[in-house]
Structure 1
Amino acid sequence: MNGTTHPLVAAYLDDLARMLGDLEPGERAELGPADAIAQAAYADRAAPPGYQRGARVPLTSRPWVPVVVALLQGLSLLLVILVVGASVGWVEESSATPAGETSVTTYGGSSLAAALAGGLAALPLWIVMALLVGISVLWRPREKVAHLLVVPVAAVLFAAGPSLGWSLAGPAGMVVAAWTVLALVVAGGGWLLYRLTISARRRASAAG
Structure 2
Amino acid sequence: MFATRAPGAGEVREAAVEGPKKRLISCTIALVRRRGVGATGIADIIELSGAARRSLYNHFPDGKMQLMVEATRYAGADMTTALEQFTAADEPLDSLSAFITYWKSVMTADDFRSGCPIAMAALGSFDTPELAREAASVFSSWNDALAEQLRRSGLTGTSAASLASFTVSAVEGAIVQCIAYRSTSPLDSAHEHLAEALKVHLSPPVLATVEPKT
TM-score above 0.5, yes or no? no
* TM-score of the two chains, using structure 2 as the length reference: 0.35
User: Relative to total residues, which structure has the larger strand share, 1 or 2?
Assistant: 1
Structure 1 or 2, whichever has the larger Rg, is 1
* TM-score of the two chains, using structure 1 as the length reference: 0.36
